[in-house]
């Protein structure tokens, strides 16, 4: 009877030890840094340090989990702004790529050979040169008319007469026409330069698409 009781007591003691050991092994410890940047550990993170980076360790010191600190509102806003910027950048890249693909298709469908492309360009250049030349001729005539009107006004003034308002208006109107036509010539000359740049780019791209 005594042996039986002793045996039972031994089993109970072993079970208690094993239970305590198992509980201790399963316990988790969390570590954080306090306001003085000193590492502290315990069973739970104090509320004032809950937003910081936290390590969770086993009772034996093995790191089970590590979480980063919570991001500030400013950091989250910067992340959102960066995501928006990247999305806009990608959208612009996609737009440029789609536009280039459409332009490539037009080049290949419109021009059978490189010579066709050159002939089309030369035709456009000839047309714009013709318009520039016509505008220059218009300016020459307007300048001649302007000079004649000014001469008439000067003759009146030399004769002691007042220059009529309608004559003054004619002089002003003609000068405005000259200025407007000269501006148009300037615009067409810039357009011609831009046309030359586009042609060189199109020719290079056409050769690339045709494989050299």
The pLDDT score that the predictor gives to residue 23 is 44
Q: What is the CA radius of gyration of the chain?
A: 45
- CA 57/CA 31 separation, integer angstroms: 8
Q: What is the pLDDT of residues 123-170, one digit of tens each?
A: 999 999 999 999 999 999 999 999 999 999 999 999 999 999 999 999
The pLDDT score that the predictor gives to residue 41 is 75
The pLDDT score that the predictor gives to residue 24 is 43
Q: For the chain, what percent of residues have pLDDT higher than 90?
A: 60
Q: What is the pLDDT of residues 61-98, one digit of tens each?
A: 566 566 665 667 787 788 899 999 999 999 999 999 99
Task: Identify whether the C-beta of residue 29 lies closer than 8 Å to the C-beta of residue 43.
Answer: yes
The pLDDT score that the predictor gives to residue 100 is 94
The pLDDT score that the predictor gives to residue 179 is 97
Strands 39-42 and 63-67: unpaired
The pLDDT score that the predictor gives to residue 62 is 64
Mean pLDDT of the chain: 82
């Amino acid at each position: 009877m005594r042996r039986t009781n002793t045996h039972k007591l031994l089993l109970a003691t072993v079970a208690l030890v094993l239970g305590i050991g198992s509980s201790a092994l399963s316990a988790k410890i969390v570590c954080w840094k306090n306001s003085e940047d000193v590492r502290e550990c315990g069973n739970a993170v104090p509320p004032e340090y809950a937003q910081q980076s936290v390590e969770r360790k086993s009772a034996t010191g093995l790191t089970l989990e590590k979480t980063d600190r919570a991001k500030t509102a400013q950091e989250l806003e910067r992340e959102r702004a960066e995501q928006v910027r990247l999305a806009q950048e990608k959208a612009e890249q996609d737009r440029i790529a789609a536009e280039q693909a459409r332009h490539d298709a037009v080049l290949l469908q419109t021009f059978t050979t490189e010579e066709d492309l050159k002939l089309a360009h030369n035709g456009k250049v000839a047309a714009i040169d013709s318009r520039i030349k016509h505008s220059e001729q218009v300016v020459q005539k307007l300048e001649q008319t302007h000079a004649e009107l000014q001469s008439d006004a000067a003759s009146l003034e030399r004769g002691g007469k007042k220059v009529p308002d309608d004559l003054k208006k004619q002089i002003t109107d003609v000068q405005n026409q000259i200025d407007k036509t000269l501006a148009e010539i300037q615009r067409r000359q810039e357009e011609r330069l831009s046309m030359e740049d586009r042609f060189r780019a199109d020719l290079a791209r056409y050769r690339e698409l045709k494989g050299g």
